[in-house]
Structure 1
Amino acid sequence: MQLYNTLSAEERAELIDSSGKQRLTLSFYAYSKIENPKEFRDNLFLAWNNLEVLGRIYVAAEGINAQLSLPADHFYAFKDSIEIYDFMKGIRLNVAVEHDDHSFLKLTVKVRDKIVADGLNDDSLDVTNIGIHLKAKDFNDLLDNPNTIVVDMRNHYESEIGHFVNAITPDVETFRESLPIIEEQLQEHKEDKNLLMYCTGGIRCEKASAYFKNKGFKNVYQLEGGIIEYTRQIKAEGLESKFIGKNFVFDHRLGERITEDIVSQCHQCGKPCDNHTNCENEGCHLLFIQCDDCKQVMENCCSVECRDVINMSLVEQVKLRKGIKNGNMIFRKGKSDKLLYKNSGDLSDISLAIAAKPKDIRQKIKIKKVLIGKGEHYYPKPQVALFLIENGELKIGDKILISGPTTGNQEFILEKMLINGKDSQSAIVGNKVTMSLPFRIRLSDKLYKILD
């Protein structure tokens, strides 16, 4: 009985591309008492693995929190699979504003103590005593009320690229940090102001509203379905969006555009930009905002030091990290002295630029190709790439495609290649081929031969 992933992310991406199926990205949550979270987890994995569901799901004794993707033609079978549980019958599924076939590349279902890490003692908190849920129109109306205080319940790296106008945006890295900070900040307005909250999909506000009501706040409201559902409603009803910029999402997309406004800057050069990236150095992996120009110059890194590291051999990089207990510190979200244009806390509602017309983000196959090999190494000084041939034959004159998350898609005619340092007209399975390339390749890059 398979209860875990057996394919790598790269293998899964290739299967998605070759299937030609469009995938939906969606999220949902539900609070309910679950007697045996481990058994519940295993049952979900078995059912969803058969439906080609991919994503990150947390289950606990208090309920479920899920972000996932699935083939569009499996949507109703998926609904049937969750509605066998009474507490998920008729549950709202927040369908993403934008879809990407590669938003998730594995299925992870984990048992946790809580479905959202809030740091609260639920024994002393009535989690059913929550705030009033508001749909988009009512939310907009209350937002315009001068007696309203609107609070972003997300973290600083989320709010920086997009937020509601006039919102309080706490400079925090975790949800649990924000609760006492907001309570202290709004201490004098427990009875005379409307406390209006929002988050990505609604789950954080569900706990936060109970927390603030428990702390004596009288008029507590929350955005139903979060920013995702708000966006769907304003489009369907032709309403004005009071949210500006991008909505940060926790998958490979790292954001979906709500309005064309760019309200943040590249953390390295200050140019208007709202595209997040993770530092290429595996010993850093910092999440930060980086424009295309800096991405090219800095090779997807947050600093010159990290760029130097990724240009070392893999053996040297591993040796450099050995014995260093980084833990979760390497995953800090956009907090680094190297980032000169980082903004958090008190954010502006002013648009710095208008986003270019988005490209088609669906990664469907547009050309016929066959996978030939994979990237092994890149030597930056001579600008030479090494590939291992794993399938078929590669010949001089072949039209090839080198593809990867950072490299993108690079097509060209193969004019020269070397095997064991010698010119060769063809390469077969098992050969290690080097070729001169003006761009850096990664270990995850794939080498394809384009077919006529």
Structure 2
Amino acid sequence: MQLYNTLSADERAQLIDEAGKQRLTLSFYQYAKIEDPKKFRDELFIAWNALDALGRIYVANEGINAQMSIPAENVEAFRETLEAYNFMQGIRLNVAVDQDDHSFLKLTIKVRDKIVADGLNDATFDVTKKGIHLKAKEFNAILDDPNTIVVDFRNHYESEVGHFKNAITPDVETFRESLPIINEQLKEFKENKNLVMYCTGGIRCEKASAYYKHQGFKNVYQLEGGIINYAKQIQEEGLESKFIGKNFVFDNRLGERITDDIVSQCHQCGKPCDNHTNCANDGCHLLFIQCDECQALMENCCSTTCLETIHLPLAEQVKLRTGKDVGNKVFRKGKSENLRFKHSGELSDKPLAAVAPKKDIRQKVKVKKVLLAHATHYYVKAKVALFVLENHDLTVGDKILIAGPTTGNEELILEKMRVDGAEASIAKVGDKVTFEVPFRVRLSDKLYKILN
């Protein structure tokens, strides 16, 4: 009985690309009493693995919290696996506005003490006495009420790239830190103000609203389904978005755009930017905002120290990080003295720039293709891309596709190339291939040969 992943992320990505089928990124949560979380976890893994469902899921005695990627054709079958359990019948699935077939590349289901690390003792208050849920239209209306205080219950690296106008944005690194801070800040307004809260998908507010009602707040409200559901509703109903910027998400996308406003800066040069990067140094993996120019110059690194480190022999890199705590790699909190233009805490509602209009880069290109390689380097001045062939031959005259979450899908005919430094007409697996491209290539990009 298979209860674990058998494919690497790269192998899974290749299978997804070859299948050429649309996938949906979605999230959901439910508080419920689960007697045996381990048994529940194993049942879900077996059912979801059969449906090619991927994602990051936490289960505990108190319920389930999931962010997932599902083949569109399997969504109804997936919902049936949920509704096999009474407490998930009719559950709301928050479907992402900005889709990416590679949002998740593994199925990871973990048993935890809690589905959100809130630091609360649930026995000290009634978690069922929650705040009033508001849909997008109702949420917009209450934000216009001068008697309203709106609070962002996300972390500093989330609110920096996007937030609701006039929201309190605590300078915290964890959800549990924000609870006592907000309680102290708003202690004078418990009786006569509307305390309105929001988070990414709604789960943090479920318990926070009950906590604040227990603390004596009389009028407590929460955004139903969080920013994800809000974005969907304003799009479907043609409502004004009171949220500005990008919604940070905890998958490979690192964010989905809600409005064209850019409200943050590149942490290295100060240019308006809201694209997150994880430092390429395996001993760092700092999460920070980096523009395309700095990404090319710094090779996805947060500092010159990390840039120097990634060019050391692998054995020396391993030696440098031996004994250091680098386990929490992917979302290490984005604070460092090296980030000169990092902003936390009280944030401005004034956009710094607008996103340039462009085609939908998430749209899947419906062509038959084969993956050849991943981008290894891009020489900015020469406008030359470097790939190391992983699969199949590449020949001058081939029609190729370079695709990535920022680059989009760019097709061109390969007119000439250099193989291992010398001009050649054919390249084999293992060869280093360079050729000019009329656009910027990023390390997240992939090279395909179009077959049809």
Same structural fold, with TM-score higher than 0.5 when normalized by the shorter chain = yes
Check 1:372–1:246 CA distance in 2 against 1; reply closer, same or farther (3 A cut): closer
Unaligned runs of 5+ in 2: none
User: Mean alpha-carbon deviation: is it higher for 330-339 or for 184-193?
Assistant: 330-339
Asked whether 1:433 is paired with 2:431, we answer: yes
Matches within 5 A, 1:4-83: 4-83=4-83
Contact 2:150 2:166 in 1 (8 A): yes
Give the Å deviation of 1:220.
1.0
Contact 2:278 2:330 in 1 (8 A): no
Contact 1:41 1:59 in 2 (8 A): yes
CA distance in 2, matches of 1:441, 1:225: 36
1:433 maps to a residue whose letter is: D
User: Mean alpha-carbon deviation: is it higher for 41-50 or for 353-362?
Assistant: 353-362
CA distance in 2, matches of 1:80, 1:90: 10
Give the Å deviation of 1:359.
3.5
Matches within 5 A, 1:151-230: 151-230=151-230
Check 1:275–1:426 CA distance in 2 against 1; reply closer, same or farther (3 A cut): closer
2:84 maps to a residue whose letter is: I
| 2:344 corresponds to | 344
3-state SS in 1 of match to 2:305:
helix
| 1:360 corresponds to | 360
Check 1:32–1:223 CA distance in 2 against 1; reply closer, same or farther (3 A cut): same
Matches within 5 A, 1:280-291: 280-291=280-291
Contact 2:179 2:208 in 1 (8 A): yes
Matches within 5 A, 1:253-264: 253-264=253-264
Contact 2:59 2:114 in 1 (8 A): yes
Contact 2:202 2:224 in 1 (8 A): yes
1:227 maps to a residue whose letter is: I
Give the Å deviation of 1:226.
1.0
Give the Å deviation of 1:242.
1.3
| 2:278 corresponds to | 278
Check 1:253–1:374 CA distance in 2 against 1; reply closer, same or farther (3 A cut): closer
Contact 2:162 2:243 in 1 (8 A): yes
CA distance in 1, matches of 2:96, 2:183: 31
Give the Å deviation of 1:29.
0.5
Give the Å deviation of 1:324.
2.7
Give the Å deviation of 1:40.
0.5
Give the Å deviation of 1:388.
6.1
Give the Å deviation of 1:261.
1.2
Contact 1:374 1:445 in 2 (8 A): yes
3-state SS in 1 of match to 2:328:
helix
CA distance in 2, matches of 1:28, 1:188: 34
2:431 maps to a residue whose letter is: V
Contact 1:101 1:363 in 2 (8 A): no
3-state SS in 1 of match to 2:158:
helix
Check 1:330–1:136 CA distance in 2 against 1; reply closer, same or farther (3 A cut): closer
Unaligned runs of 5+ in 1: none
| 1:234 corresponds to | 234
Give the Å deviation of 1:199.
0.7
Asked whether 1:84 is paired with 2:84, we answer: yes
Cα shift readout 1:209-245 (whole Å, capped 9, x = no counterpart): 1111111111111111111112222223322211111
2:150 maps to a residue whose letter is: V
2:260 maps to a residue whose letter is: E
Check 1:446–1:195 CA distance in 2 against 1; reply closer, same or farther (3 A cut): closer
CA distance in 2, matches of 1:374, 1:140: 44
Check 1:305–1:195 CA distance in 2 against 1; reply closer, same or farther (3 A cut): same
Check 1:315–1:407 CA distance in 2 against 1; reply closer, same or farther (3 A cut): farther
User: Mean alpha-carbon deviation: is it higher for 364-373 or for 6-15?
Assistant: 364-373
| 2:119 corresponds to | 119
CA distance in 2, matches of 1:144, 1:444: 41
Contact 1:153 1:198 in 2 (8 A): yes
Contact 1:195 1:219 in 2 (8 A): yes
Matches within 5 A, 1:394-405: 394=394
Cα shift readout 1:291-316 (whole Å, capped 9, x = no counterpart): 11111111111111111122223333
CA distance in 2, matches of 1:312, 1:407: 29
Contact 1:59 1:112 in 2 (8 A): yes
| 1:296 corresponds to | 296
3-state SS in 2 of match to 1:328:
coil
Contact 2:416 2:435 in 1 (8 A): no
Give the Å deviation of 1:325.
3.3
Identity of aligned residues (%): 70
CA distance in 1, matches of 2:25, 2:373: 30
Contact 1:245 1:258 in 2 (8 A): yes
Q: CA RMSD in A?
A: 3.1
3-state SS in 2 of match to 1:75:
helix
3-state SS in 2 of match to 1:249:
coil
Check 1:299–1:256 CA distance in 2 against 1; reply closer, same or farther (3 A cut): same
Check 1:168–1:6 CA distance in 2 against 1; reply closer, same or farther (3 A cut): same
Cα shift readout 1:113-155 (whole Å, capped 9, x = no counterpart): 0000001111212110111111222222221111111110111
CA distance in 1, matches of 2:168, 2:107: 35
Check 1:348–1:42 CA distance in 2 against 1; reply closer, same or farther (3 A cut): same
| 1:134 corresponds to | 134
Cα shift readout 1:242-280 (whole Å, capped 9, x = no counterpart): 111111111111111111111111111111111111111
1:417 maps to a residue whose letter is: V
CA distance in 2, matches of 1:250, 1:316: 31
Check 1:79–1:168 CA distance in 2 against 1; reply closer, same or farther (3 A cut): same
CA distance in 1, matches of 2:34, 2:299: 46
Given the alignment, which residue of 411, 417, 420 partners 2:419? 417
Cα shift readout 1:48-76 (whole Å, capped 9, x = no counterpart): 11111111111100000011111111111
3-state SS in 1 of match to 2:431:
strand
Contact 1:22 1:71 in 2 (8 A): yes
User: Mean alpha-carbon deviation: is it higher for 247-256 or for 234-243?
Assistant: 234-243
CA distance in 2, matches of 1:205, 1:284: 31
2:79 maps to a residue whose letter is: K
CA distance in 1, matches of 2:422, 2:262: 50
3-state SS in 1 of match to 2:294:
helix
3-state SS in 2 of match to 1:323:
coil
Give the Å deviation of 1:334.
1.6
Cα shift readout 1:399-431 (whole Å, capped 9, x = no counterpart): 66677779988864454424xx999876656xx
CA distance in 1, matches of 2:54, 2:67: 9
